[in-house]
Structures are given as C-alpha cells and as structure tokens.
Structure 1
Amino acid sequence: MDWYREISKAEKRTLWGCFAGWALDGVDTQVFSLVIPTLIATWGIGKGQAGLIGGATLVAGALGGLLAGVLSDRIGRVKALQVTVLWFSLFTFLSAFAQNFEQLLVLKSLQGLGFGGEWTAGAVLLGETIRAKHRGKAMGIVQSAWGFGWAGAVLLYMIVFSWVSPEWAWRVLFAVGLLPASLVIYMRRNIEEPPREIKPAEQGEAHRPSALAILAGIFHPSVLRTTIVGALIGLGAHGGYHAITTWLPTYLKTERHLSVLGTGGYLAVVISAFIIGCFVSAWLQDKIGRRKNVILFAICCAVTVNVYVFLPVGDVAMLLLSFPLGLFSAGIPATLGALFNELYPQGVRGTGVGFCYNFGRVVSAVFPVLVGHMGNSMPIGQALGIDAGIAYGLVVVAALLLPETKGRRIATVPAQAASNEHSPKHV
C-alpha cells in the first residue's frame, strides 16, 4: 500500500467518500432482489411484474447515469454527486411506503435515476482527483465497494427478517435506505471540487453551456470516434455480463440440475470473487495498461463461460468455477472508470463517461434476448457460449481501436500530484 501513503489527504478523502457512496448504493440496490419472494407472497404479484420493476430500475439507472454526467459537466462533480446520493436515498426510503405494485414501480424507477447517476458522478470526481499513476488502483478499489454493499445488503436482510415479520421487514429495509443521505454532510465538509479550466460558478448562468450543448459535445468530430468505440466497449461488457447473469443460473439449474445455485455458499463465492476481481484489476491496469487489462479480462470471461456450458460440470466444480467467472466479470467494469475518464477532454468528460458506460447498459438487453432466440434452435448452453463470445469479442475489438491511456494526466490533477508524475501527457 505504498501508493496509498503517497497520495494526498484530499485524494484519500475523495477515495473513501466515493467508496462509501458506491457501497451504500449497492446496499440500496441489492435489497430489492432479496425481497422479491416476500413481495410476491405478500402482494400476490407475478414474477413478471417483479421482473418489470427490476428492469425498469436498470433502464432508469442508465438514463440517470447519462443525466448525471451532463449535470457534473454543468454544475460540478461534487454537487452532482451530492444530488444523486440524496436522490437515490430519498426514493429508496419512499419505496417503503408503497401500497401496491404500480406505486413501487414508479418509486423504484425514480430510485434508479439516482443510483445510476451516482456511479457516473463519482467516477468522474475520483478520476479527476487521483493522480495519474494511481488512478487505476483507486477506481478499481472503489468499484469493489459494490461487492461490499451487496454483502451488506445480505447481512442486513438476514438481521431484519430475523426480527421483523416479512410483511413489514421489506419496508424496514427500504426505510434504512435513507441513511446514505447522511454521506452528503461528509462530502460538503471533506471533498473538494477538482480544479477546472473555467469553474461553473465563474461562468455565470448566462454563459454556462446548456445541457443539450454539453451532450452534443461528445459527438463533435474531435471525439466522435472515441464516443463510438467507448460505447461499443460498454455494450460488449454489459451484454456479456447480463447474458451470463440472466441465463447461466437457469441453464445450470434446469438442464444440469445443479442444486448449489440457491445456497448461501454460492452467493458468498460470487460476492467474494467480485470484490477480489476489482482489486486484481485495480493493481493490474496500472501495471499493464487499460487496453491490455480490458482485453485480458474479456478473453478470460469468454473462455470461462464456455468451460461452464460445454464441459461436464457438477455441483462442486460449478461452485469452484463461479469464483473465476465472478472475478473476471468484475475486472472489466473496474477498468472502465479510469479508461473513459482518460479519453475525454474536461468540458465533456462527465457526459462522455456517462454515455459510454450507460449506452451499453441499455442496449445490452439485446444479448439476453438473443440467447433466448438462439435457444429455440440449439441447446441453451451452446447459445449462451456463442453469445458471450460475441459480446466479449466486441470488447476486445473495440479496445484495440483505442489508444493506451495509462499514465495520462488530465487537466484537473492537483498540483501536488502532478509534480510527482513522469513524462506527463495531457488530454
């Protein structure tokens, strides 16, 4: 941890502020997946309705990520992060008072705008605060916070459901979602806005670019190629991930008849693998570079999935294989924050990061659908293997079209950090 001792207090405060935000974001988001059986039993809703709430939340999250990127370019990184944390905390809390399916659908969708936006605002703030040679490590470590939040949601679920009756326990869990709002107090006192070429406060409202103008900026000829290729990486990364999470458990349970999928041990392995994968990627991307890291993890994901579906796998082997699969699938998103930050100029950086990451989240829905359609004419396992190969192959090809950005200094790196960099490059 020599690198951690090297960074400044301001960098450390931002690192832990973003880590806490993403962890609490993970708690609030994962709680819903844990209470789905309770909602089905309590309200008598169908699995399709429960799935609709989850799907609407994810789509809203992608839209929120794009909007937060534009907002961070317009009013500043810290303010945008504060807005998104307050937003998802408030609507998580209000979800506790939903009286029917329709109300919960609306409230969860509004919550999604906040949790999707929080990732984008935090990623840009962290990317512009941490010095270049440690940016990858910091981004990867903060990405692991989602895994800690996931584990926290499971622990909270176990505690609340052991003390409160199910018809009230799910409401208590959502009500607890208001707690992340207290993080805004820490942000206001401890996290500084990264230096900007022209601060929004100095521009004045009359001279501040409109949201539409900022959004149009990522399609300017000077960065259009970056936007297209970055969006393709986001599409492949999310497409492969959603295809796996949607179809692999179903395939292993219904066609391979494996029972370990529903056990706590399986969940513990997956969460641990995600956290460790983020740490491995954090260290590796600052060693070998962003492009090589993304390509390496994408290839490993495709190979591991195909081992799953084409080789005979029993309960024990499946449990063991779930670790590398979780590790490799975490490595790609743990790299994207640093990579996308380093590809864009300051004025449209938030918008570019938000678009590349969240375009993939929305359009990636085509990959699980494709598996289902292919499964009509071939075994579902074979369809999944091919689909994952296509998705992660897209990541590899797109990454090869991008420049290596490791060590690239962006214009907002603090002076005390910039003085320690070697052979600086500016965006």
Structure 2
Amino acid sequence: MTTSSSTVAPITDTSLTGFYKDMTVTEKRTFWACATGWALDGMDFMIYPLVIGTIIALWKVDAGSAGLAGTVTLLASAVGGWAAGYLADRIGRVRTLQLTIIWFSLFSLLCAFAQNFEQLLILRALLGFGFGGEWAAGAVLIGETIRPQYRGRAVGSVQSGWAVGWGMAVLAQAALFSLLPPEEAWRWMFAIGALPALLVLYLRAYVKEPQVAVEARAKVSAAGGSRSILAIFQGRILKTTILASLVATGCQGGYYAITFWVPRFLTTERKLSIVGSTGYLATLIVGSFVGYLVGAWFADRFGRRSLFLTFSLGAMVVVLAYTQLPLSNELLWVLGFPLGFFASGYFSGMGAFLTELFPTSLRGSGQGFCYNFGRGVGALFPFLVGYLSQVTTLANAICLFAVFAYVLFFAAAYALPETRGRVLSADE
C-alpha cells in the first residue's frame, strides 16, 4: 500500500446509478463539470482521426505522417498532463482545470486556420499540451470530491463522457461533410472544438476545491515549502509510479491503436464512404458508452484491478476477431459494439485507481505523470500503426499493436494492489 490511510469505506448500494441520488450538491456540480469537460475533451481529440482521410487527400500526406500528427498530440499531452498535475498540487485542482480547458480550446480553433500540414502538426502539438492537462486536473478533482464508496462509479461515469464527445464529433462530421465540400468541412470540425472554453464559466461559478486538497497544501506550506516534482520517483512511491505508468501505457496504447485508425480502416479496407461509415462508428461508440457505465459499476462492485484484468482479456479477443476474421460488413457492424465495450470500459476504473494509489500531497503529480506517461508512449501507436500499414494491411497493423498493449496492461495491473474503497486523507 502506498498511502498512509488504509481505512476502507463500506459500500452498501452497489447499483449502477445508486451513487447519484445520495451525492451532495457539491459532488453533483463537480460530477457534471468533469463529465462535460471530458466529453468536450473527447470531441476535440476525435475530430482529427475523423478528418484524417480528408487531410491525406487534400495535402497529399502519407499515412505514416498523418499518424504522426496524432502521436505528436498525445506526446505533448503527456508533458502537459505531468505539468498540470504538478501545478494542481501547487495552485489547486479547479484553477488548473480552468487554464487547461482554455488552452486546448484556443488551439483547436487555430487548427481550423492551418494552411499546410506542418502548421497543423504544430497546432495539434500545442493543443495536446492542454488536452493532457485537463484530464490530470479533472480526474484528481472528482476523485477527491466524491466519497470513497461511490468513487469508482462516479469517476467511471465521468469517463463515459468521452464516448458522448466522440459521438458529438461523429455527428458533426456527418452533418458538415453532407452540407459542405471536404476542403471546408474539416476546418469547421476544428472550429467547433473551441466550445469547451464555455465550461470555464461554470467552473468559476459553481465548482469548489476539494477540502482534502486545501488541507494538504496547507500542511505542506506549513512544513516549509512544496514537494519536489521528482518526489514520485523516490522511496516506496517509485514502484507504484513504474507499475501504474505501465498500466496506463497498455490501456491507452491499445485504445489509440484501435480508435485512431478504425475510421480509416472502414473507408479503405472496407470501402465505405465517410457518411456510410457513420453507422459503424455509431455502434462502436454506443458500445463504448455502455462499456464505460458497466466498467464504472464493475470497479465498485468487484474492484479496479479485476476490471482491468477482465476487460483487457475481452479487448484482446474482440480485436483479433474484428481485424483477422473474414467477416461480412454486417457482422463487422455488430462486432463494433463489443469492440467499443471492452476497449473503453476499463478506463472507468483508471481515474479512481490512480487517485487511490498516491498520497494527497503528491496525487496531482503522480496521477498526472502516470496516466500521461502512458498516453505519451501510447502516442507512438498511431504512428507505428500507420507506418506498418505501408507494408501490410491496416487491419494487421492495428491488431499487432493493440494485442501487445493489452498484454502489457494485464501484466502490470496484476502486479498492483486493489484500492477499492480507500479513504483519502490530508495527512498522507
């Protein structure tokens, strides 16, 4: 155990929605702020994979370079997440969240005005810095605000906002590419990515800093200063940092290998039009949304670790079937649901798990580093899949990197302790 508090809160109502009716006003406001932020975050990120085919065609970009833009976004988000996590420990979770939302909203808007691929690459990298920071600050904020007996379901339900954001991006794609020529539609896709900036108004008015974080910062200040950004690599915390980083690498590497390239897979190897692929992506997204909710319930009912082990195995099996079996388009459409279900559902336990692994004074730094280290390494997967697809099929490339990631995910999760119900303390 890596925290000084070993108290376990009792879990009485284990139903999926039972947590919400018992939440306080403060908990509900934080819940909806973080859920909305994560949905808009997901929308911003998924816009690029949806327009990647248009970018390739308009600017004559090869698949490897196109994938590199996704990789650069994620690599920058890794740095941004660690920095934002450390900043959240210094100036507060809510203030850091506001800054990161404004940052990635601004650069999403600027992407709409890019005149060539090089400019877009730079702007996506700068967007990624804020994108990674938003998750780091938001995950710690809700993890500390929600009581331990509800933390898994509440944080997991917030993760389902990603599927909502993904769905919003797909709907925007279907509408804009139906109404406008491709050379204009992709720019409007990026322009709507500025919408998250409006969320800052709600955060400023209604969301409060968690009391446990306020008390922890006061104790650190009274002791003579702040903790070093390298403190998560010292003493007993080091092992936790390494294993949690590998868990985050496996879960995100698998996810990005699949979701970044599936739209392209459907339009090239399955010969579907952009609009025609919308139904297939919708099935994937519905499965993803249900997976988040079931994963949230699973995390509180059976534990975070059990969720990771079960869903990583399920994801491996479905990825192999989706990419390697000679399925008809009709069967592929049906299989999109379990693919989205298993490839997304395990994220529901990730925020609560990382919150519970680290002491309060280091929680932002630890959670921000581990999750975003995984995002940074996982960021290589879109590039590597695109590169490998030049010498084999895109389906084979997706399968190879996704299965490797899920094996790593399973092994690292198996080596870490269960944290379900752990009570957080400012004295940690």
Do both proteins adopt the same fold according to a TM-score greater than 0.5, normalized to the shorter chain?
A: yes
**What is the TM-score of this pair, normalised by structure 2?**
0.85
Q: 2:197 aligns with which of 181, 191, 199?
A: 181
- 1:30 and 1:150 in contact (8 A); partners too: yes
Alignment of 1:135-214 (within 5 A): 135-195=151-211, 196=213, 198=215, 200=217, 207-209=224-226, 213-214=227-228
Secondary structure, aligned partner of 1:218:
helix
Deviations 1:372-413 (A, max 9, x none): 99999999877866654443232222222222111111126x
Match of 2:341 in 1: 327
Match of 1:294 in 2: 308
- 1:260 and 1:266 in contact (8 A); partners too: no
- 2:40 and 2:196 in contact (8 A); partners too: yes
CA distance in 2, matches of 1:207, 1:285: 38
Task: Give the deviation of 1:224 after TM superposition.
Answer: 1.0
Q: 1:119 aligns with which of 135, 146, 160?
A: 135
Match of 1:74 in 2: 90
Identical amino acids, percent of aligned pairs: 47
CA distance in 1, matches of 2:379, 2:26: 39
Between stretches 181-190 and 194-203, larger displacement belongs to 194-203
Match of 2:13 in 1: none
What letter corresponds to residue 338 of structure 2 in structure 1?
P
- 1:95 and 1:174 in contact (8 A); partners too: yes
Match of 2:76 in 1: 60
Relative to structure 1, is the Cα distance of residues 372 and 169 closer, same or farther in structure 2, using a 3 angstrom cutoff?
closer
Match of 2:331 in 1: 317
CA distance in 2, matches of 1:161, 1:333: 31
Relative to structure 1, is the Cα distance of residues 48 and 396 closer, same or farther in structure 2, using a 3 angstrom cutoff?
closer
Task: Give the deviation of 1:204 after TM superposition.
Answer: 6.7
Between stretches 10-19 and 86-95, larger displacement belongs to 86-95
What letter corresponds to residue 77 of structure 1 in structure 2?
R
Between stretches 346-355 and 39-48, larger displacement belongs to 39-48
- 1:260 and 1:319 in contact (8 A); partners too: no
Alignment of 1:336-415 (within 5 A): 336-364=350-378, 388-411=402-425
Relative to structure 1, is the Cα distance of residues 207 and 79 closer, same or farther in structure 2, using a 3 angstrom cutoff?
farther
User: 2:106 aligned with 1:90, yes or no?
Assistant: yes
Relative to structure 1, is the Cα distance of residues 111 and 243 closer, same or farther in structure 2, using a 3 angstrom cutoff?
closer
- 1:31 and 1:174 in contact (8 A); partners too: yes
Secondary structure, aligned partner of 2:42:
helix
Alignment of 1:211-360 (within 5 A): 213-245=227-259, 258-259=270-271, 263-309=277-323, 311-360=325-374
Between stretches 21-30 and 94-103, larger displacement belongs to 94-103
Task: Give the deviation of 1:285 after TM superposition.
Answer: 0.7
- 2:261 and 2:398 in contact (8 A); partners too: yes
What letter corresponds to residue 358 of structure 1 in structure 2?
N
Between stretches 192-201 and 135-144, larger displacement belongs to 192-201
Secondary structure, aligned partner of 1:215:
coil
Q: Which runs of 5+ in 2 are unaligned?
A: 1-16
Match of 1:25 in 2: 41
Match of 1:417 in 2: none
Between stretches 158-167 and 19-28, larger displacement belongs to 158-167
Relative to structure 1, is the Cα distance of residues 135 and 204 closer, same or farther in structure 2, using a 3 angstrom cutoff?
closer
Greater relative CO, 1 or 2 (CA 8 Å, sep 6+): 2
- 1:78 and 1:187 in contact (8 A); partners too: yes
Between stretches 198-207 and 61-70, larger displacement belongs to 198-207
Deviations 1:232-282 (A, max 9, x none): 11122123233444677888888xx64469622211111111111000101
Secondary structure, aligned partner of 1:357:
helix
- 2:35 and 2:161 in contact (8 A); partners too: yes
Match of 1:419 in 2: none
CA distance in 2, matches of 1:372, 1:49: 8
- 1:200 and 1:208 in contact (8 A); partners too: no
CA distance in 2, matches of 1:309, 1:170: 28
Aligned residues: 409
Relative to structure 1, is the Cα distance of residues 375 and 42 closer, same or farther in structure 2, using a 3 angstrom cutoff?
closer
What letter corresponds to residue 153 of structure 1 in structure 2?
A
Between stretches 103-112 and 305-314, larger displacement belongs to 305-314
Deviations 1:159-190 (A, max 9, x none): 34445554444333333333221211110110
Secondary structure, aligned partner of 2:229:
helix
Deviations 1:346-389 (A, max 9, x none): 01111111121121222235667887999999998778666544
CA distance in 1, matches of 2:267, 2:173: 24
- 2:159 and 2:348 in contact (8 A); partners too: yes
CA distance in 2, matches of 1:44, 1:373: 16
CA distance in 2, matches of 1:19, 1:389: 29
Deviations 1:76-124 (A, max 9, x none): 1001101100101111122223333332222221111111111111000
CA distance in 2, matches of 1:41, 1:249: 15
What letter corresponds to residue 36 of structure 1 in structure 2?
I
Between stretches 31-40 and 344-353, larger displacement belongs to 31-40
Relative to structure 1, is the Cα distance of residues 402 and 97 closer, same or farther in structure 2, using a 3 angstrom cutoff?
same
Relative to structure 1, is the Cα distance of residues 121 and 394 closer, same or farther in structure 2, using a 3 angstrom cutoff?
same
Alignment of 1:26-45 (within 5 A): 26-45=42-61
